[in-house]
A and B are shown apart, each in its own frame.
Chain A
């Protein structure tokens, strides 16, 4: 039995099954990220674990105890809300010590724990301020501090970085990663941003329409996506996915494994740009995006009546312009094959 176990967990709204029979096992000390598009149910699932939303079916076990019907206050979980949900009428110190005060913990111990958490999060100069007097980033740290002080069994994060600006987001992401290394606490982290998922997670759970699409380490999901949805959700820019009907040349390059009907996927970094005429496919440049470290080449390949857009990514700068003819090739074996339903059939990854 693992530390946190979900078995057949379900949520129904009338006839709609918002969360459909989820099974998930989370080990102690793991950093698990729930990721998926808007409306996939990741926040609902988190709230069900937290006890803020009722579990309609299945069971939830924590450290050997069945907590399916237990109210939030008794589950020994701490949550960092997207809006931080700080108590506006209390100082930072009171915000962070609230849970301990409710549990009638000794004042001296409270002071010590809050002080330690404040030191870790650089909040010591702000302990007497109220949330109104803090910046967004500081409030976020207080929200995290409130959770740390309680030393709960599991930390729950609900899209904590979405209200921060880009620079702060990157910074805070790194701080959260460092914090996890220091404290080693079991964490469930919900986000729609796959970059956060890739960088923070020990394991990623990709959700869609209330069901799990795939669970695995970030690189597992990247190299061996179980279906087209995961393949295109993870990785920026998106994986090129082409209907075999539209580009037979690609099918030929993929070899025998792609004899069937379906879709073929190639990651942009595996699409090679060659001088016009010397690639196995011929195309025309539509757009060049120079990002500095990388360059993205958007090209259109036309075969007969059908045309397909492919994106290639390379480190080297290019002199190509929109409208130029170009040749395209694929790294041998770097194909992802999907059947008509979108499921991966045989993944011929270059790694």
Chain B
């Protein structure tokens, strides 16, 4: 006897099928397809070219012998470039360094990012200023960041870290020479920590207060609330931060270029720097291209997951 209809509801169908509730009627009838296409054309064409042209060129270069110092000479060499790149004694080290760099920075930024976000989530005097200050390192340009650390912090004689060590009676450490990769990790982590922190702060603001209170009434203490409510809520932002950092940290370059130059030896060379070395120091375009393809494949893997996650959010 209930009059509510169980079958498809006409009112809902409007929004599903019409697709564009705010589109002008003309566009929805499809009679003016030209305008939308014309509007999108510049962006689509430029991005398409930006994607295709370097890719095709890289594919081509990776199969020939091409040295910038001897431009005329472009003999087909098949997979020799790949072999050369992969058998380069620096290759193994660069892959390991890349993974170490990625892993360490991600762990540092996520762990401390979550911690800081939690600390700053509740109000306290000066919270506004603290949040603004915490953001700052992210906006410092990479080269300034690198040199700031190299000279002012890490210099074994005059640097601040050295002074602090002396103050405590310890031997100052020559960071860049003795621990090059770690130094780079520190610089990059310092730069990206605010990013992770900001993401987590934003996400924490949408945490359901009512749920927290209900849990408190059910007898949960602070640690339990964190483990069962906060952490799952942060699951998605953490995943996003990890993936974004994976994509962008793969290309860490400026810091290495300005401080250690990949060295000593290959201790702080990552895949990006190795490619750069081949291309613009050895001028071997062929081998560098092979390496670039390798890096692109790696990045693609992370990108696939990130795209899927964004897609879920894209209505």
- Please determine if A and B sit in direct contact within the complex, based on CB atoms under 8 angstroms apart: yes
Residues of A that sit less than 8 Å from B by CB: 11, 13-14, 16, 18-19, 37-44, 47, 51-54, 71-72, 208-210, 228-229, 232-233, 241
Measured in the bound complex, the distance between the Cα atoms of B25 and A38 in whole Å is 25
Name B20-70 residues within 8 Å CB distance of A.
Answer: 25-26, 28-29
Q: Which B residues are in CB contact (< 8 Å) with A37?
A: 3-5
Asked if B13 is an interface residue, CB under 8 A from chain A, the answer is yes
Q: Which A residues are in CB contact (< 8 Å) with B222?
A: none
Nearest CB of chain B from residue A173's CB, rounded to whole Å? 23
The 13 listed contacts between A and B (C-beta, < 8 Å) are A13-B13, A16-B8, A18-B10, A37-B4, A39-B10, A39-B11, A39-B12, A40-B5, A44-B10, A53-B18, A208-B5, A228-B1, A232-B1
Chain B residue nearest to A52 in the complex (CB): B25
Given A19-B10, A39-B10, A41-B11, decide whether A232 and B3 contact each other with a Cβ distance below 8 A: yes
Q: Which B residues are in CB contact (< 8 Å) with A53?
A: 14, 18
Q: Which B residues are in CB contact (< 8 Å) with A47?
A: 14
Q: Is the CB of B11 within 8 A of A13?
A: no
Given A51-B25, A54-B28, A54-B29, decide whether A209 and B11 contact each other with a Cβ distance below 8 A: no
Which 4 A/B pairs are nearest by Cβ-Cβ distance? A39-B9, A18-B10, A41-B10, A13-B13
Chain A residue nearest to B25 in the complex (CB): A71
Nearest CB of chain A from residue B18's CB, rounded to whole Å? 7
Measured in the bound complex, the distance between the Cα atoms of B3 and A208 in whole Å is 9
Partner pick for A43 among B1, B7, B11, B26, CB 8 A cutoff: B11
Measured in the bound complex, the distance between the Cα atoms of B12 and A38 in whole Å is 9
Q: Which B residues are in CB contact (< 8 Å) with A229?
A: 3
Measured in the bound complex, the distance between the Cα atoms of B14 and A41 in whole Å is 10
Q: Is the CB of A39 within 8 A of B3?
A: no
Asked if B214 is an interface residue, CB under 8 A from chain A, the answer is no
Asked if B281 is an interface residue, CB under 8 A from chain A, the answer is no
Q: Which A residues are in CB contact (< 8 Å) with B17?
A: 13-14
Given A54-B29, A71-B25, decide whether A16 and B1 contact each other with a Cβ distance below 8 A: no
Given A54-B25, A72-B25, decide whether A44 and B3 contact each other with a Cβ distance below 8 A: no
Secondary structure at chain B's binding surface: helix, strand, loop or mixed? helix
Measured in the bound complex, the distance between the Cα atoms of B18 and A41 in whole Å is 15
Q: Which A residues are in CB contact (< 8 Å) with B18?
A: 53
Nearest CB of chain B from residue A96's CB, rounded to whole Å? 23
Secondary structure at chain A's binding surface: helix, strand, loop or mixed? mixed
Q: Which A residues are in CB contact (< 8 Å) with B3?
A: 37, 208, 229, 232-233
Q: Which A residues are in CB contact (< 8 Å) with B13?
A: 13, 16, 18
Chain B residue nearest to A41 in the complex (CB): B10
Q: Which of A13, A210, A228 has the most CB of B within 10 A?
A: A13
Partner pick for B11 among A44, A71, A208, CB 8 A cutoff: A44
Nearest CB of chain B from residue A179's CB, rounded to whole Å? 27
Chain B residue nearest to A47 in the complex (CB): B14
Nearest CB of chain A from residue B28's CB, rounded to whole Å? 7
Chain A residue nearest to B28 in the complex (CB): A54
Q: Which B residues are in CB contact (< 8 Å) with A14?
A: 17
Measured in the bound complex, the distance between the Cα atoms of B8 and A38 in whole Å is 11
Q: Which B residues are in CB contact (< 8 Å) with A16?
A: 8, 10, 13
Q: Which B residues are in CB contact (< 8 Å) with A44?
A: 10-11, 14
Q: Is the CB of B11 within 8 A of A38?
A: yes
Q: Which B residues are in CB contact (< 8 Å) with A228?
A: 1
Partner pick for B1 among A11, A40, A51, A241, CB 8 A cutoff: A241
Partner pick for B7 among A209, A232, A233, CB 8 A cutoff: A209
Chain A residue nearest to B12 in the complex (CB): A39
Measured in the bound complex, the distance between the Cα atoms of B47 and A194 in whole Å is 56
Chain B residue nearest to A73 in the complex (CB): B25
Q: Is the CB of A11 within 8 A of B25?
A: no
Q: Which B residues are in CB contact (< 8 Å) with A41?
A: 10-11
Measured in the bound complex, the distance between the Cα atoms of B11 and A71 in whole Å is 21
Nearest CB of chain A from residue B32's CB, rounded to whole Å? 13
Q: Which A residues are in CB contact (< 8 Å) with B7?
A: 209
Name B169-219 residues within 8 Å CB distance of A.
Answer: none
Measured in the bound complex, the distance between the Cα atoms of B13 and A229 in whole Å is 23
Measured in the bound complex, the distance between the Cα atoms of B28 and A209 in whole Å is 25
Measured in the bound complex, the distance between the Cα atoms of B5 and A14 in whole Å is 19
Q: Which A residues are in CB contact (< 8 Å) with B10?
A: 11, 13, 16, 18-19, 39-41, 44, 209-210
Nearest CB of chain B from residue A192's CB, rounded to whole Å? 11
Q: Which of A14, A16, A71, A241 has the most CB of B within 10 A?
A: A16
Q: Which B residues are in CB contact (< 8 Å) with A72?
A: 25
Q: Which B residues are in CB contact (< 8 Å) with A51?
A: 25
Q: Is the CB of A39 within 8 A of B5?
A: yes
Nearest CB of chain B from residue A208's CB, rounded to whole Å? 7
Q: Which A residues are in CB contact (< 8 Å) with B29?
A: 54
Measured in the bound complex, the distance between the Cα atoms of B11 and A40 in whole Å is 7
Nearest CB of chain B from residue A318's CB, rounded to whole Å? 27
Chain B residue nearest to A51 in the complex (CB): B25
Nearest CB of chain B from residue A61's CB, rounded to whole Å? 19
Measured in the bound complex, the distance between the Cα atoms of B18 and A14 in whole Å is 11
Nearest CB of chain B from residue A235's CB, rounded to whole Å? 13
Chain A residue nearest to B16 in the complex (CB): A13
List 16 additional A-B contacts (Cβ < 8 Å) besides A13-B17, A232-B3, A233-B3.
A13-B10, A14-B17, A16-B8, A16-B10, A16-B13, A18-B10, A37-B3, A37-B4, A38-B11, A40-B5, A44-B10, A54-B25, A54-B28, A71-B25, A72-B25, A210-B10
